[in-house]
Amino acid sequence: MILQWSQDWARFSTAETLLVGLLVVLLVAFVEIRPRATQVWERPIRIDDAARERLRASSSARRRACGRISDTLLWTFTVGPFLLALALHAAGITDVAIQVALLSTLAVLAASGANRVATTVAGRPRPYTRVLGEDGQPKRKPDEHPERLRSFFSGHTALTATGGGLLVVFIVQLQLLPMLPMLLAVRLCIAAPIAVALLRVAADRHYLSDVIVGWMVGSLCGAAFPYLVHFT
Protein backbone atom coordinates (compact mmCIF):
# COMPACT_ATOMS: atom_id res chain seq x y z
CA MET A 1 0.00 0.00 0.00
CA ILE A 2 1.26 3.48 -0.87
CA LEU A 3 1.21 5.61 2.28
CA GLN A 4 1.52 9.00 0.59
CA TRP A 5 0.51 10.75 -2.60
CA SER A 6 3.44 10.46 -5.01
CA GLN A 7 5.14 13.66 -6.15
CA ASP A 8 4.74 12.36 -9.70
CA TRP A 9 0.95 12.44 -9.39
CA ALA A 10 -1.03 15.62 -9.95
CA ARG A 11 -2.98 16.74 -6.90
CA PHE A 12 -6.59 17.90 -7.03
CA SER A 13 -6.38 21.38 -8.55
CA THR A 14 -8.13 24.70 -8.05
CA ALA A 15 -9.67 24.34 -11.51
CA GLU A 16 -11.16 20.99 -10.50
CA THR A 17 -12.51 22.52 -7.31
CA LEU A 18 -14.26 25.21 -9.36
CA LEU A 19 -15.58 22.50 -11.68
CA VAL A 20 -17.11 20.69 -8.71
CA GLY A 21 -18.92 23.90 -7.76
CA LEU A 22 -20.19 24.40 -11.31
CA LEU A 23 -21.44 20.82 -11.47
CA VAL A 24 -23.33 21.23 -8.20
CA VAL A 25 -25.00 24.36 -9.58
CA LEU A 26 -25.80 22.52 -12.81
CA LEU A 27 -27.38 19.59 -10.98
CA VAL A 28 -29.44 21.87 -8.75
CA ALA A 29 -30.61 23.82 -11.80
CA PHE A 30 -31.67 20.70 -13.67
CA VAL A 31 -33.49 19.33 -10.62
CA GLU A 32 -35.70 22.41 -10.86
CA ILE A 33 -36.41 21.81 -14.56
CA ARG A 34 -39.57 19.78 -15.01
CA PRO A 35 -39.28 16.55 -17.00
CA ARG A 36 -40.34 16.83 -20.63
CA ALA A 37 -44.03 16.26 -21.26
CA THR A 38 -43.53 15.37 -24.93
CA GLN A 39 -41.03 12.99 -26.49
CA VAL A 40 -38.16 14.24 -28.61
CA TRP A 41 -36.44 11.00 -29.61
CA GLU A 42 -39.04 9.19 -31.70
CA ARG A 43 -37.62 5.80 -32.75
CA PRO A 44 -35.22 3.22 -31.28
CA ILE A 45 -31.90 2.57 -32.99
CA ARG A 46 -32.01 -0.62 -35.08
CA ILE A 47 -30.09 -2.73 -32.56
CA ASP A 48 -32.36 -1.69 -29.69
CA ASP A 49 -35.48 -3.66 -30.56
CA ALA A 50 -33.54 -6.87 -31.24
CA ALA A 51 -31.62 -6.54 -27.98
CA ARG A 52 -34.80 -5.76 -26.07
CA GLU A 53 -36.50 -8.84 -27.47
CA ARG A 54 -33.60 -11.06 -26.40
CA LEU A 55 -32.75 -9.52 -23.02
CA ARG A 56 -36.05 -8.24 -21.60
CA ALA A 57 -37.20 -10.32 -18.62
CA SER A 58 -40.28 -12.39 -19.38
CA SER A 59 -42.53 -11.21 -16.54
CA SER A 60 -43.16 -8.02 -14.60
CA ALA A 61 -41.96 -9.70 -11.40
CA ARG A 62 -38.65 -10.62 -13.01
CA ARG A 63 -38.29 -7.14 -14.47
CA ARG A 64 -38.81 -5.62 -11.03
CA ALA A 65 -36.24 -8.02 -9.57
CA CYS A 66 -33.72 -6.98 -12.22
CA GLY A 67 -34.40 -3.36 -11.37
CA ARG A 68 -33.84 -3.97 -7.64
CA ILE A 69 -30.56 -5.79 -8.24
CA SER A 70 -29.34 -2.98 -10.49
CA ASP A 71 -30.27 -0.46 -7.77
CA THR A 72 -28.17 -2.39 -5.24
CA LEU A 73 -25.15 -2.53 -7.54
CA LEU A 74 -25.55 1.15 -8.37
CA TRP A 75 -25.40 2.27 -4.75
CA THR A 76 -22.66 -0.20 -3.83
CA PHE A 77 -20.27 1.00 -6.52
CA THR A 78 -21.20 4.68 -6.29
CA VAL A 79 -20.49 4.72 -2.56
CA GLY A 80 -17.49 2.38 -2.86
CA PRO A 81 -14.79 5.00 -3.62
CA PHE A 82 -15.96 7.16 -0.69
CA LEU A 83 -15.88 4.16 1.66
CA LEU A 84 -12.32 3.57 0.45
CA ALA A 85 -11.47 7.18 1.32
CA LEU A 86 -12.92 6.68 4.81
CA ALA A 87 -10.91 3.47 5.24
CA LEU A 88 -7.70 5.24 4.22
CA HIS A 89 -8.44 8.05 6.64
CA ALA A 90 -9.10 5.56 9.44
CA ALA A 91 -5.75 3.93 8.65
CA GLY A 92 -4.03 7.29 9.11
CA ILE A 93 -3.36 7.89 5.41
CA THR A 94 -5.31 11.14 5.46
CA ASP A 95 -3.60 12.95 2.59
CA VAL A 96 -4.27 10.10 0.18
CA ALA A 97 -7.81 9.78 1.55
CA ILE A 98 -8.52 13.43 0.78
CA GLN A 99 -7.29 13.08 -2.81
CA VAL A 100 -9.38 9.92 -3.30
CA ALA A 101 -12.49 11.65 -1.90
CA LEU A 102 -12.02 14.76 -4.04
CA LEU A 103 -11.43 12.83 -7.26
CA SER A 104 -14.44 10.61 -6.50
CA THR A 105 -16.65 13.63 -5.87
CA LEU A 106 -15.68 15.23 -9.18
CA ALA A 107 -16.16 12.00 -11.14
CA VAL A 108 -19.58 11.21 -9.67
CA LEU A 109 -20.80 14.77 -10.13
CA ALA A 110 -19.56 14.82 -13.74
CA ALA A 111 -21.34 11.57 -14.59
CA SER A 112 -24.52 12.69 -12.80
CA GLY A 113 -24.46 16.08 -14.51
CA ALA A 114 -23.97 14.56 -17.95
CA ASN A 115 -26.83 12.17 -17.30
CA ARG A 116 -29.20 14.88 -16.10
CA VAL A 117 -28.49 17.09 -19.10
CA ALA A 118 -28.81 14.22 -21.58
CA THR A 119 -32.08 12.86 -20.20
CA THR A 120 -33.61 16.33 -20.13
CA VAL A 121 -32.49 17.29 -23.64
CA ALA A 122 -33.00 13.93 -25.38
CA GLY A 123 -36.49 13.26 -24.04
CA ARG A 124 -36.26 9.62 -25.06
CA PRO A 125 -39.17 7.38 -23.97
CA ARG A 126 -38.24 4.36 -21.88
CA PRO A 127 -38.77 0.95 -23.47
CA TYR A 128 -41.66 0.06 -21.16
CA THR A 129 -43.71 2.87 -22.69
CA ARG A 130 -43.71 1.12 -26.08
CA VAL A 131 -46.83 -1.03 -25.93
CA LEU A 132 -48.91 -1.95 -28.96
CA GLY A 133 -52.43 -0.76 -29.55
CA GLU A 134 -55.18 -2.64 -31.39
CA ASP A 135 -53.79 -1.39 -34.70
CA GLY A 136 -50.40 -2.97 -33.94
CA GLN A 137 -48.70 0.41 -33.69
CA PRO A 138 -46.69 1.54 -30.62
CA LYS A 139 -48.58 3.68 -28.15
CA ARG A 140 -47.36 5.46 -25.06
CA LYS A 141 -48.23 5.19 -21.41
CA PRO A 142 -49.89 8.24 -19.78
CA ASP A 143 -48.03 11.51 -20.27
CA GLU A 144 -48.07 12.29 -16.55
CA HIS A 145 -45.61 9.50 -15.75
CA PRO A 146 -42.65 11.57 -14.40
CA GLU A 147 -39.78 9.34 -15.53
CA ARG A 148 -41.08 8.02 -18.84
CA LEU A 149 -38.91 10.30 -21.02
CA ARG A 150 -35.59 9.74 -19.25
CA SER A 151 -34.26 6.73 -21.13
CA PHE A 152 -31.12 8.24 -22.70
CA PHE A 153 -28.69 7.60 -21.29
CA SER A 154 -28.63 5.06 -18.44
CA GLY A 155 -27.66 6.78 -15.20
CA HIS A 156 -27.41 3.47 -13.35
CA THR A 157 -24.85 2.18 -15.84
CA ALA A 158 -22.93 5.46 -15.93
CA LEU A 159 -22.60 5.80 -12.16
CA THR A 160 -21.74 2.14 -11.62
CA ALA A 161 -19.04 2.43 -14.30
CA THR A 162 -17.82 5.64 -12.65
CA GLY A 163 -17.51 4.02 -9.23
CA GLY A 164 -16.01 0.85 -10.65
CA GLY A 165 -13.50 2.81 -12.72
CA LEU A 166 -12.44 4.89 -9.72
CA LEU A 167 -11.92 1.78 -7.62
CA VAL A 168 -9.82 0.13 -10.35
CA VAL A 169 -7.60 3.19 -10.68
CA PHE A 170 -7.16 3.60 -6.93
CA ILE A 171 -6.61 -0.09 -6.20
CA VAL A 172 -3.97 -0.44 -8.90
CA GLN A 173 -2.17 2.90 -8.50
CA LEU A 174 -2.15 2.88 -4.70
CA GLN A 175 -1.25 -0.82 -4.58
CA LEU A 176 -3.93 -1.46 -1.99
CA LEU A 177 -4.05 -5.24 -2.37
CA PRO A 178 -1.70 -8.15 -3.08
CA MET A 179 -1.62 -9.30 -6.69
CA LEU A 180 -4.29 -12.04 -6.66
CA PRO A 181 -6.89 -10.12 -4.61
CA MET A 182 -6.15 -7.06 -6.74
CA LEU A 183 -6.89 -8.95 -9.94
CA LEU A 184 -10.13 -10.29 -8.47
CA ALA A 185 -11.19 -6.83 -7.30
CA VAL A 186 -10.40 -5.28 -10.68
CA ARG A 187 -12.42 -7.94 -12.49
CA LEU A 188 -15.36 -7.37 -10.14
CA CYS A 189 -15.23 -3.61 -10.71
CA ILE A 190 -15.17 -4.13 -14.47
CA ALA A 191 -17.96 -6.74 -14.41
CA ALA A 192 -20.34 -4.70 -12.23
CA PRO A 193 -21.27 -1.97 -14.77
CA ILE A 194 -21.67 -4.61 -17.49
CA ALA A 195 -24.05 -6.52 -15.21
CA VAL A 196 -25.98 -3.33 -14.44
CA ALA A 197 -26.24 -2.51 -18.14
CA LEU A 198 -27.74 -5.93 -18.90
CA LEU A 199 -30.05 -5.72 -15.90
CA ARG A 200 -31.38 -2.32 -16.97
CA VAL A 201 -32.26 -3.72 -20.38
CA ALA A 202 -33.77 -6.83 -18.75
CA ALA A 203 -35.82 -4.58 -16.47
CA ASP A 204 -37.13 -2.76 -19.58
CA ARG A 205 -35.88 0.54 -18.22
CA HIS A 206 -33.37 1.26 -20.99
CA TYR A 207 -32.45 0.31 -24.52
CA LEU A 208 -29.09 -1.24 -25.37
CA SER A 209 -27.88 2.06 -26.86
CA ASP A 210 -28.75 3.83 -23.58
CA VAL A 211 -26.59 1.52 -21.49
CA ILE A 212 -23.69 1.51 -23.98
CA VAL A 213 -23.49 5.30 -23.85
CA GLY A 214 -23.90 5.20 -20.06
CA TRP A 215 -20.97 2.81 -19.76
CA MET A 216 -18.82 5.01 -22.01
CA VAL A 217 -19.60 8.17 -20.00
CA GLY A 218 -18.98 6.40 -16.68
CA SER A 219 -15.70 4.90 -17.88
CA LEU A 220 -14.54 8.32 -19.09
CA CYS A 221 -15.44 10.04 -15.81
CA GLY A 222 -14.36 7.29 -13.42
CA ALA A 223 -11.31 5.74 -15.07
CA ALA A 224 -9.95 7.67 -18.06
CA PHE A 225 -10.01 11.18 -16.59
CA PRO A 226 -8.50 10.37 -13.15
CA TYR A 227 -5.83 8.12 -14.64
CA LEU A 228 -4.78 10.39 -17.51
CA VAL A 229 -4.90 13.64 -15.53
CA HIS A 230 -3.55 12.52 -12.15
CA PHE A 231 -1.53 9.33 -12.53
CA THR A 232 0.37 9.71 -15.82
Q: pLDDT digit of tens for each residue in the chain (232 aa)?
A: 777 888 999 999 999 999 999 999 988 887 766 656 666 676 778 899 899 999 999 898 999 999 999 999 999 999 999 999 999 999 999 999 999 999 999 999 999 999 998 988 888 888 888 765 444 444 555 455 557 778 899 999 999 999 999 999 999 999 999 999 999 999 999 999 999 999 999 999 999 999 999 999 999 999 999 999 999 8
Given a contact cutoff of 8 angstroms between Cβ atoms, the answer to whether 130 and 138 are in contact is yes
Please state, in angstroms and rounded to a whole number, the distance separating the CA atoms of residues 220 and 156.
Answer: 15
